[in-house]
Structure 1
Amino acid sequence: MFVVLRKYRNGSHKFKLKPAVYRLKSTTAKKDFAAAYNPKLIEENADNSEYFYATNNGRKYSLILPPPNITGILHLGHALAVTVEDVLVRWHRMRGFDTVWVPGMDHAGIATQVVVEKKLYKEKGLTRHDFGREAFEKEVWKWKEEKEEVIGGQLKRMGVKLDWPRQMFTLDRKQSVAVTEAFIKLYDSGLIYRSDYLVNWSCVLRSAISDVEVEHLEVTGRTELPVPGYDTPVVFGQLSHFAYKLYDVEPTGSLQGDGEIVVATTRPETIPGDVAVAVNPNDSRYAHLIGQYVWHPLRNEKIPIIGDSFVDSDFGTGAVKVTPAHDHNDFEVAKRHGLTSIQVIDEEGKLSDSCGNLAGMRRFDARKALLDELNKLNLLRGTQDHRMIVPICGRSRDVVEFLSKPQWFVRCTDMAKRALRDYENGNLTIEPEHFGKNWTTWLENIRDWCVSRQLWWGHRVPVYFCGSDVDTTPKASNTRTTIAVAARNIDEARSKAAALLSRPPDTLHIRQDEDVLDTWFSSALLPFSAFGWPQQTEDLKKLYPLSIMETGHDILFFWVARMVMLGTQLTGQLPFSKILLHGIVCDAHGRKMSKSLGNVISPEDVIHGSTLKELENALDKNYKSGLITKEEFNKAIAGQKKMFPEGIPQCGADALRFTLCSHNIKNHFVNFDVQECKINKFFGNKIWQAVKFANKWIETVLVAQEIGNLKYESLGKMDKWILSKLSGMVKIVNDSMERYEFHNATAALKNFIYYEFCDIYLESAKRGLRSTESKAAAGHIWTMVVCLDVGLRCTAPFMPVLSSHLHERLNVESVLTFTPRRFDFPQEEAQWSCPTIEDEVDGIMEVVASIRRLKKLFNVTAKHKPKAILVTRSSIYTDYLNTIQDLSGCNTIQIHQDIERKDDMVVDKIGDVTILLEVPQELRDKFDVDVRKLQVKKSKLVGELEKIKAMTSTEGYKLNATEKTKEVNAKKIAGLEEKITRINYMESFTK
């Protein structure tokens, strides 16, 4: 016979006898129940089938994994995104949602091409041009296959439940169809156009890059910066002044004596491309010169002085050079005034043929040469330090050049207005909310999106130049006999062009554009292309729009905004209604993870552990593959030795996941400490031991007794207390999950399981369990199993392998009956909430803590058979006498309303209770505290505390200090206060 607690509709609970056929749960599953938690053992042998689930309630929950780039392996930033999304998916599955989570990989055009080029050059000394386009693409596909397998393996080791049969790649056939269709629809709607325009050009990549791939580095004065391809740093942050001599058109056609206009520039290398000098028409110093000319000394020709309100009269001399081919403002000025454009820097970053004897010179070498030439001509007027913004390519670290080139652009203004309107109307929400301001600012100031890239790896632009000339060039697309058409293939292009030109198809020559599309264009389509768009599939109808888009805040504009704009434009509805942005993962010291710092950690380093030598070998492999430089390699080695002198301990995937979710993911930065993972591995072992303990007593108690009816009201106070705490924990976890505050959920779980359940409840229950035939023992058994069943189900989204492994081995069916058996996510049991009992136990735990402090202070141990007396007139403590004795580790506890303190007693007072602890004479004699030293130490601590409190209370600190700084200082304050309290406590025994 064994006992089962059934819950009746009236809320009562009864233990009922069950026939012998319902024996204890089979012990087969417990044969592999090891003595301690070993994550490696259970994770490598984990069953991949779904363990926790709930009956499908008809609601859907769909999302896509932000596809990792195939440029390398996953790092902890990916691990954070993967963990957060897996937690959400598991939580929804356990609540009955039909969930779909689509995995994928991104071809990452520029990044992948760069990394493969480096690898090939390092290994074979060959460039992509040596290979040729077709052969080079084959090499990249080989790279893709290798990395896809590695990344897939990493994701699986994280224990995630992705829908692997749906896996896609942004360059696979289905995605290519979607990209082509999207381009054609936008092109035919007039939202894609081709134009000569200034683009952000990386001379290292030989490609245009988008605005959001440009980093803006501010320098406040003369600053030396490393530039790829230059042996020595290049100077930025200087303003050079030089003179343009006035030119008299009539009547002499010569220079006007000493007349000149001085201009200032941070880019002397572009002087050969100056086509005008501009002044503000309201500037009285120069207004009379508008319409006159100056002499260009390097080209030996005159250029006009123009008036335009864009000129800031307070900048420099109030007169500026106009170089349309290399500056965005100048480009617009030239269009307004009908000026020509002269490109003087080419795609390789060298001066063009239009620069005469300087042609072929590198741009920053030419800077000095041009200043020297101006000095020889007596036109240089000095140099001064100047605050400026240097545009840096986020991919290559090259200084971005602005070049005028024919490129494909997406018109964004109307789409941006719609995205902004959806946010303002509440149709689209962003977490954390403060990113809404960034969203608004960016969309209100959006520029057209350059989507063409001069690469070989990517989706070819589906545009065909069609005409009668076999050497059809892109520029010829503006003539009447040559046009550009967007088409799915060359045959469709021929048919379209023939109809538009009224020409026989076989008379046309066709050539596809050589460029590829920006990677972000293809990835922006994923919310719907992942489900079969442009085909109207059942998946698309059912799973689109997505339920949520979760990703890092650093790609809010790279990716998220573009998904919203293109998704709404192409499908007629928002691709998702919620955006959840997580922070950037940094190391334990708050530094961004960097190859050169040696603080980059891969998930498997934490999951399986890694020796320092293994970490070094991984770096060496990257160096030999050309992925990092020798300098980066040496710095990284030094960084690793400093951060991980003993290597990284094995923690397991569950501990890694729990640690990542223990931080507020909404913070701008998420600081990751390997030691926290180690601690959370110990937390896993705590749960492991609790289940082992429960199973042992389940067998012992249920075999020893036959129990009649027992109502819930008959449970002991500590049983009711832990059930009340359990109900509160479940509520906090569910509320926190709803708000994406995973750190509050994990904190509640850890506090309940580790402290309240294991350290307090189980210790208090041992006395009752030893009386195996008592009702107290039966009540403890049921309570333990309920707490562990609910606790494991609450923990499951965060630590899925450990939770399912232990839940499967917990003798749930031996104590509880479910119809059907519950594997869903727990909900709050409000009827178990009992604030009165919680208050009572809070009080007795203060008494327990006081007794423990006294014992520790005087070094009273079990061999001294400690005895304590509680002096109080409250009857509450009588109900908890055994609990106080067990938890405080005393041999005896007595309660008196009044008693005289003896000489061998030390005293403390907590609320309405006076605690007296007997301390042997020899221990009291040893307690010799140097009061003077205590006071000196206390004075120093108080001084430190006052200083840090004064700093943190200022308005400037509250507004400007980072969240990490505030967190660190808050911990310092708490630590100092705790030390001072301890000294005060010790001083009280010397008086």
Structure 2
Amino acid sequence: MLQILFSKGSPQLIKRLQIFTSLHIVNRAQKGYFSRVVIEPAYKPALVERNKHVEAKLVTGDENSPKFSLLLPPPNVTGELHLGHALTCTLQDALVRWKTKQGCKTLWTPGMDHAGIATQVVVEKKLYKEKKLSRHDLGREHFLREIWQWKEEKGRSIKENLMKLGTCMDWDHEYFTMDDRQTSAVKEAFVRLFEKDLIYRDKALINWSCTLESAISDIEVENVEIDGPTAVEVPGYKNKIMFGRMADIAYKVHNSDEEIVISTTRPETLLGDVAVAVNTNDARYAHLANETTMLWHPIRQESIPLIFDSSVDPEFGTGAVKITPAHDRNDYDVAKRHKLPLVEVINSRGIIMENHGPFAGLPRYDARNKMMDYLTNQSLIRGIKPHSMVLPICSRSKDVVEFLLMPQWFIRCTEMAHRAKKSVEDGELRIIPDNFEKDWFRWLDNCHDWCISRQLWWGHRIPAFEVKSKNAVSWIAARSTEEACRKAKEIFGSGDFEISQDTDVLDTWFSSSLLPFSALGWPECTKGCQRYYPLNLMETGHDIIFFWVARMIMLGQELTGQLPFREILLHSIICDEHGRKMSKSLGNVIKPEHIIKGITLDNLIEETKLAHQHGLLSDAELKRSIVSQRKAYPHGIPECGTDALRFTLCSTNVKNYSLNFNIQECHSNKLFFNKIWQATRYTLMCKEKFDTNGKSLDKRNLLEFDRWILSKLGNTIVSFKNAMDEYNFHLAAAAWKTFFYNNLCDVYLETTKVHMKAETQQIARNQCAVLQHCLSIGLNHLEVFTPFIATELLSHLPSPETKFHESEWIDRDLESTIEQLLEICQSIRQAKNEHNPPIARKHNPVVHIYSKSDQLRELIQRQLSCVQQLTLSNGVQLYDDERSFDGRKMTAKSTASHLCSFGLTTNLSEELKQSAPESGEISGHTKKMRKLESELEKLVNTVSREGYKKFASEEVQKKHLEKINNLRLQIENMRKMDVRSVV
């Protein structure tokens, strides 16, 4: 602890010291000298967290210690950290700090993801907003230079914010998914998988964004539910496009007067219809069930077959559906079964392709309108009706996703998926919580080949080369152009050939799926790989269990021959306090720094407007955000501090599907830390007064409450350890909150005030040592959640003289005994508060207690001074005779249990007497009676239920019976009391 002593006071120097430190300097009676420095009168997060390097590398075990390795799921370099990142960082930091305290050699590897599509989109938006330029205007080289500049700026900001969260990451091992080491690993992985025939190139149906002109992954597709006709903004169109309508269109049966009516929400794809399908068992079309039934395509002017397939839903529309295999996944499968041709309609830019007559060259939704006009003129429209549907939207470009046939690179996943599934079935891989196992199995059972190519400029360029020689074309994979040429010569000899690298880049998930081993130096056999691979745990959000976690398992097993980690901890998705997922579209996103530092509503809105100016928010998102902010934070966001944010995130069960974040809870935790701060301040003042240096704990010299709080400390440590072992962070956090708030501050610290005086100096010294011990050990454990305040307060507290062995101090009988006393004190305080008017200490209340139990009465007698302190009363009178107690007129009477009754006497002023309740009002005594009666009724109903005696254990039945009897006795005692007896 910093101490400052001046022989002569300098007010200016003192003022400067107060500004630049988090310490409070006390001028002792202006005598020209100062006492030792004590901490500030109140907890101030900004002062405590300023310039505190708690994020520095922890001192971990030696090379022979157990290892614990963890990887930070890399934040995207698309912007600033959000609360999801804060949750991940906090949970992982708590684990690393705890494992370090257990003596493990830890490695927590940080890094950032280049986020191919997301980063390219955000930089394109910014570029167009600020300079009215597209990436095509700049060219590939200059555009990539813009992105690298963006990465440097945002990467620096993200790293700073990660450090401000108090994380203890190993920054010496930091990676970026496009640095030289990761690029080398990506090339190596691709080549190895290609040579194993696990990577192949094919023209297949994939998700496509016409705005990005790129394939996108399933995670980048938002399925938006539309209930009836809805106008939607689509990039590239001035007017909104109407969705949620179904058109019934007639197909004429060839050489017949019959027609079959199909229903579609996408008339523009009619150009690509190659058949009409009905269910095999649909009686309505049974008479047409032969191989020669053909229908006339009204636009292409050719025949297409009527086919029968069991996959068709006879309840959908007319039971007849159009088959457009080049633009629909289900239709694609049907076409393969029936060996139908593929007719492509829409190109990569969303334009109708050539060879489609008057519709060629039209944007797809302009073609839709023209198609409806054409069909109307041909008298083929049989109706248009509202229809609920799901519209696939690209989360990056907000464009409507098309399903197009495009040449792409794929990874064969069947065998790898089977291996990943079996690892969970055999118990080699543990998923926490285990309710996600069924999702794991379902996805892996239906795992289709993975499209890994993207038509972008930003990302890992695919290390595949096209080789052309005369009429032959071949693809090879190589780590460099030189290697590609050598391989080409082996295939084509020394003849002439042309070789060119694919211009596509790899899906971002490919490079990030290698991270458990590539971040440690793979494919080189580095010391890090040998020591820390496989990782002990993968901790991340459950929303990417398939897109990232499953693929890490698949590629890890394939490329390294072992699981990349043995446990998967999946945490909640952070939502706002109303349970809505945080997103820009809802305008409910909160930045961690807003919670840490606080922000006014005006500044919050100004930040949002700035994001809009940079092209990061659309006009609609800006409007929604401002409306949402005004409603949710009319007075802004109060300063809470990093520790309060971290503790709040850990206080909710993160194994739940979602976590509803409430800023008010965060602010309440800041007040909780002030409670610990004040307890430490009190302890330091007592320490200075009674000099407890070198004071060790000896049970023989401690009072009951001293031993009780140390027993509570021991139990809290046990609960904390068990909770951390099972990743129940909320139980671990709750254990320490209960200890500090309810046990130490509200009870034990208050009892020490009885003895903190010169005449009981020996007891005071013992209790001061106990306070120091509880604070030091408690803060040392709490530090895994709250590193800033723990580090600050521990710097002022001496380390315990001896190691605290919790098992030696736990005394459950003593805890049970003291709990009886605390229940009485709680009942008395509650009666004081519920009395009308409330009885405060200044009204000189005296507590009168009668106990039917000799043992309880002896306990109260021993602790009379503590009871007086804990009940904030001016005296306690104990009775051993019920008639003497009942005969005493009191301001209020009630019971604390079936064995204990109490009353209060006080001198109320005339004003307070006049404000006493009318006879019709319900007193606190009556409220308590009703509560006890309700509790008794519920318990009686429970034991009366059918099957109770059959399924409830004998021990449980015995406890319930005892509880019922005690409640009945307590209610009977309360009924005997004269509730309205006033002195």
For Structure 1 versus Structure 2, the TM-score category normalised by the shorter chain is: 0.7 to 0.9
Partner of 2:892: 906
Going from structure 1 to structure 2, the CA distance change for 1:629 and 1:570 (only over 3 Å counts) comes to same
- Give runs of aligned pairs for residues 247-646 of structure 1, distance below 5 A: 247=254, 256-283=255-282, 285-286=285-286, 287-468=288-469, 481-504=472-495, 507-646=496-635
CA distance in 1, matches of 2:908, 2:100: 63
Query: Aligned with 2:754: secondary structure?
Result: helix
Going from structure 1 to structure 2, the CA distance change for 1:246 and 1:599 (only over 3 Å counts) comes to closer
Provide the TM-score with structure 2 as the length reference: 0.86
1:136 equivalenced with 2:119 (yes/no): no
Contact 2:676–2:740 (Cα < 8 Å) also in 1: yes
Deviation at 1:377, TM superposition (A): 1.1
Contact 1:81–1:550 (Cα < 8 Å) also in 2: yes
1:157 equivalenced with 2:156 (yes/no): no
Deviation at 1:31, TM superposition (A): 3.1
Alignment partner for residue 843 of structure 1, among 807, 820, 832? 820
Partner of 2:22: none
Contact 2:354–2:360 (Cα < 8 Å) also in 1: yes
CA distance in 1, matches of 2:34, 2:793: 14
Give the counterpart letter for 1:798 in structure 2: F
Alignment partner for residue 63 of structure 1, among 62, 70, 77? 70
Going from structure 1 to structure 2, the CA distance change for 1:259 and 1:634 (only over 3 Å counts) comes to closer
CA distance in 1, matches of 2:85, 2:34: 38
Contact 1:29–1:809 (Cα < 8 Å) also in 2: no
Deviation at 1:606, TM superposition (A): 1.5
Contact 1:210–1:449 (Cα < 8 Å) also in 2: no
1:736 equivalenced with 2:723 (yes/no): yes
Contact 1:344–1:354 (Cα < 8 Å) also in 2: no
Give the counterpart letter for 2:916 in structure 1: D
Going from structure 1 to structure 2, the CA distance change for 1:181 and 1:32 (only over 3 Å counts) comes to farther
Alignment partner for residue 674 of structure 1, among 663, 673, 685? 663
Give the counterpart letter for 1:492 in structure 2: E
- C-alpha offsets along residues 355-382 of structure 1, whole Å, 9 cap, x if unaligned? 2111222222322321221121122222
Contact 1:39–1:651 (Cα < 8 Å) also in 2: yes
- C-alpha offsets along residues 279-324 of structure 1, whole Å, 9 cap, x if unaligned? 4455452444432322222112222333444334443333332222
Alignment partner for residue 919 of structure 1, among 898, 906, 917? 906
Alignment partner for residue 918 of structure 2, among 923, 930, 940? 930
Query: Aligned with 1:767: secondary structure?
Result: coil
Give the counterpart letter for 1:434 in structure 2: N
CA distance in 1, matches of 2:586, 2:605: 13
Give the counterpart letter for 1:928 in structure 2: A
Instruction: Compare 397-406 and 495-504 and name the one that shifted more.
Output: 495-504
Regions of 4+ moved over 6 Å: 27-30
Contact 2:54–2:791 (Cα < 8 Å) also in 1: no
Alignment partner for residue 869 of structure 1, among 841, 845, 848? 848
- C-alpha offsets along residues 818-876 of structure 1, whole Å, 9 cap, x if unaligned? 5xxx7xxx7x6112111222122211112222332343325433444322222224322
Partner of 2:28: none
Alignment partner for residue 207 of structure 1, among 184, 208, 214? 214
Partner of 2:878: 895
Contact 2:201–2:408 (Cα < 8 Å) also in 1: yes
Contact 1:279–1:318 (Cα < 8 Å) also in 2: yes
CA distance in 1, matches of 2:599, 2:493: 69
Give the counterpart letter for 1:817 in structure 2: E
Query: Aligned with 1:145: secondary structure?
Result: helix
Instruction: Compare 652-661 and 334-343 and name the one that shifted more.
Output: 334-343
Give the counterpart letter for 1:794 in structure 2: H
Give the counterpart letter for 1:406 in structure 2: P
Give the counterpart letter for 2:267 in structure 1: P
Query: Aligned with 1:769: secondary structure?
Result: coil
Instruction: Compare 488-497 and 302-311 and name the one that shifted more.
Output: 302-311
CA distance in 2, matches of 1:850, 1:280: 72
Instruction: Compare 424-433 and 335-344 and name the one that shifted more.
Output: 335-344
Deviation at 1:352, TM superposition (A): 1.5
CA distance in 1, matches of 2:126, 2:264: 39
Contact 1:868–1:918 (Cα < 8 Å) also in 2: yes
1:831 equivalenced with 2:808 (yes/no): yes
- Give runs of aligned pairs for residues 674-823 of structure 1, distance below 5 A: 674-702=663-691, 711-771=698-758, 774-812=761-799, 816-818=800-802
Query: Aligned with 1:179: secondary structure?
Result: helix
Going from structure 1 to structure 2, the CA distance change for 1:83 and 1:49 (only over 3 Å counts) comes to closer
Partner of 1:236: 243
CA distance in 1, matches of 2:157, 2:268: 46
CA distance in 2, matches of 1:138, 1:554: 32
Contact 1:242–1:379 (Cα < 8 Å) also in 2: yes
Deviation at 1:988, TM superposition (A): 7.8
Partner of 1:110: 117
CA distance in 1, matches of 2:170, 2:808: 39
- C-alpha offsets along residues 430-463 of structure 1, whole Å, 9 cap, x if unaligned? 1121111111111111111111111111011111
Provide the TM-score with structure 1 as the length reference: 0.86
- Give runs of aligned pairs for residues 957-976 of structure 1, distance below 5 A: none
Partner of 1:958: none
Going from structure 1 to structure 2, the CA distance change for 1:838 and 1:391 (only over 3 Å counts) comes to same
CA distance in 2, matches of 1:161, 1:196: 47
CA distance in 2, matches of 1:988, 1:511: 99
Tell me, which stretches of 5 or more residues in structure 2 are unaligned? 1-32, 943-970
Query: Aligned with 1:159: secondary structure?
Result: coil
Contact 1:352–1:359 (Cα < 8 Å) also in 2: yes
Going from structure 1 to structure 2, the CA distance change for 1:419 and 1:755 (only over 3 Å counts) comes to same
- C-alpha offsets along residues 658-700 of structure 1, whole Å, 9 cap, x if unaligned? 1111111112111112222222122222222222221222232
Going from structure 1 to structure 2, the CA distance change for 1:262 and 1:51 (only over 3 Å counts) comes to closer
Alignment partner for residue 44 of structure 1, among 24, 47, 50? 50
Going from structure 1 to structure 2, the CA distance change for 1:781 and 1:121 (only over 3 Å counts) comes to same
Partner of 1:881: 864
Give the counterpart letter for 2:712 in structure 1: K
Contact 1:466–1:497 (Cα < 8 Å) also in 2: yes
Query: Aligned with 1:805: secondary structure?
Result: helix
- Give runs of aligned pairs for residues 166-181 of structure 1, distance below 5 A: 166-181=173-188
CA distance in 2, matches of 1:489, 1:375: 58
Going from structure 1 to structure 2, the CA distance change for 1:875 and 1:570 (only over 3 Å counts) comes to same
Contact 1:494–1:508 (Cα < 8 Å) also in 2: no
Contact 1:290–1:307 (Cα < 8 Å) also in 2: no
Higher RCO by CA contacts (8 Å cutoff, separation 6 or greater) = 1
Give the counterpart letter for 2:846 in structure 1: K
CA distance in 1, matches of 2:682, 2:258: 97
CA distance in 2, matches of 1:211, 1:230: 25
Deviation at 1:51, TM superposition (A): 9.4
Give the counterpart letter for 1:871 in structure 2: Y
Going from structure 1 to structure 2, the CA distance change for 1:518 and 1:51 (only over 3 Å counts) comes to closer
Partner of 2:37: 31
- C-alpha offsets along residues 902-943 of structure 1, whole Å, 9 cap, x if unaligned? 3345322222222132122646833532344549x99xx99x
Deviation at 1:706, TM superposition (A): 11
Alignment partner for residue 829 of structure 2, among 852, 857, 864? 852
Give the counterpart letter for 2:573 in structure 1: I
- C-alpha offsets along residues 954-976 of structure 1, whole Å, 9 cap, x if unaligned? xxxxxxxxxxxxxxxxxxxxxxx
Tell me, which stretches of 5 or more residues in structure 1 are unaligned? 1-26, 248-255, 470-478, 954-980
Query: Aligned with 1:989: secondary structure?
Result: coil
Alignment partner for residue 656 of structure 1, among 645, 650, 655? 645
Give the counterpart letter for 2:40 in structure 1: A
Going from structure 1 to structure 2, the CA distance change for 1:49 and 1:167 (only over 3 Å counts) comes to closer
Instruction: Compare 338-347 and 187-196 and name the one that shifted more.
Output: 338-347
Deviation at 1:596, TM superposition (A): 4.3
Give the counterpart letter for 2:590 in structure 1: I
Deviation at 1:259, TM superposition (A): 3.2
- C-alpha offsets along residues 780-809 of structure 1, whole Å, 9 cap, x if unaligned? 122112111111111110111211211121
